[in-house]
Each structure stands twice: as C-alpha cells, then as structure tokens.
Amino acid sequence: MPSWTRLIRDVADFPRPGIVFKDITPVLADAAAFDAVLEALAAPWRETPIDAVLAIEARGFIFGAPLARALGAGFVPIRKPGKLPGRTLSQRYALEYGHDTLELQADALPIGARVLLVDDVLATGGTLKAARTLAERAEADIVGAAVLIELTALGGRARWQSDAPLQAVLSM
C-alpha cells in the first residue's frame, strides 16, 4: 500500500450518525502525498484521448482540475443546484444518508466529447451514477471514471453499469 494511505483518517458519525467519513485533508496537506495521489489518478489515462475531465463537487474538484492539466484536457465542474449560470441539466440521486442533486451546464461540452469522470470517494455509487447520467444526457462519450478511494463494502461499483473502465487508486 502506498505510504500516503496512512494519512487518511476515519471520522465517525460525519456528516450524519452512522457514517464513517474518509478525511483526506492530511493527504492534501502533504505535498509529496498529494503529488503521488495525482500521479496515481492520472497514470491509467495517460494514453487515452480525453477532451474534458468532469469533476464532482466538492472534493472531486480538488483532483479534477490538476488531473485535467496533467492529461492535457479541459475541466468541467459538476455542481450542486444553483451554482452554475445558464441552462443546466439536473440529476437527482440517492446518497447513503439522503438525496441530493447534481447539475451540469447544458452547453459545457460539444456532442461526442471524450470525458473522464472524477471524484474522491466511491461509496454507494449514487453520485458517480448521477454524474454519468448527466454526461450521457450531454451526449458525451464517457471514457471512464477515476476515484481516489473505493469503499468496496458499500458496493458502489455495481451501480457504475458502464462498459467504460472505473479506476480506483485505493480500495478499502
């Protein structure tokens, strides 16, 4: 296991009772660890033509923008409701502790753009599935998805339901 994994902290009962939050702040605060994480996220995609990295608010942004730069791609944010100007596509989804909605600007991508979805953690898979649905509705070509941590016990990978690869740097 990479040495930076020791920096990940479990925070019990956050953001709700019964949830164990994976705190990656110490990884982000350590320059060498953050660099290693970004390199690990980029490595599987270096030979894949990608037009844009679609990163999911909020912690997905932390990885999405530098990953887009490393891959020579554009960056497109997928945000919570009311944060994007103009016409948006919206997708409601279930979380392990409730429901939420994601939005993508309707004109953010040309039809057929090759996109990589990025987030920090794959838990139950609802967030990533909603992002995939938004990209599909925007008529993008999804080349895959990348996450830092996959919580395998929660079964989120089963909700990916795509032929495009889903890469996790760390499975826990």
61-75, 85-99, 120-134, range with the lowest pLDDT:
85-99
Sorted by sequence, the CB contacts under 8 Å of residue 35 that are 6+ apart come out as: none
In a domain, 143, yes or no: yes
At residue 2, the pLDDT reads 87
The whole-model pTM stands at 0.95
> How many domains is the chain partitioned into structurally?
1
pLDDT of 96 strictly over 70: no
**Residue at 82 is within a domain:** yes
Domain membership of residue 137 (yes or no) is yes
Residue 95 has a pLDDT of 76
Which is more confidently placed, 51 or 97? 51
Q: Output 135 or 18, whichever has higher pLDDT.
A: 135
DSSP H stretches of helix in 30-172:
31-42, 59-71, 126-137
The DSSP code sequence of 9-36 is EEEET-SSTT-EEEE-HHHHHSHHHHHH
**pLDDT tier, 153 (very low <50, low <70, confident <90, very high otherwise):** very high
Q: Which domain holds residue 98?
A: 48-171
Segment 18-51, tens digit of pLDDT: 889 999 999 999 999 999 999 999 999 999 999 9
Check: CB of residue 51 under 8 Å from CB of residue 72: no
In a domain, 83, yes or no: yes
Mean pLDDT of the chain, nearest integer: 96
- 11 within domain boundaries: no
The set of catalytic residues is 59, 96
13 belongs to a structural domain:
no
Give the separation between CA 3 and CA 10, rounded to whole angstroms.
16
Percentage of the chain lying above the pLDDT 90 cut: 92
- Domain assignment present for residue 53? The answer is yes
Residue 85 within any structural domain of the chain:
yes
Q: With contact defined as beta carbons under 8 Å apart, do 66 and 38 qualify?
A: yes
Helix, strand, or coil (residue 21): strand
As a whole-number percent, the residues of the chain with pLDDT over 70 amount to: 99
What CATH number is attached to the domain comprising 73?
3.40.50.2020
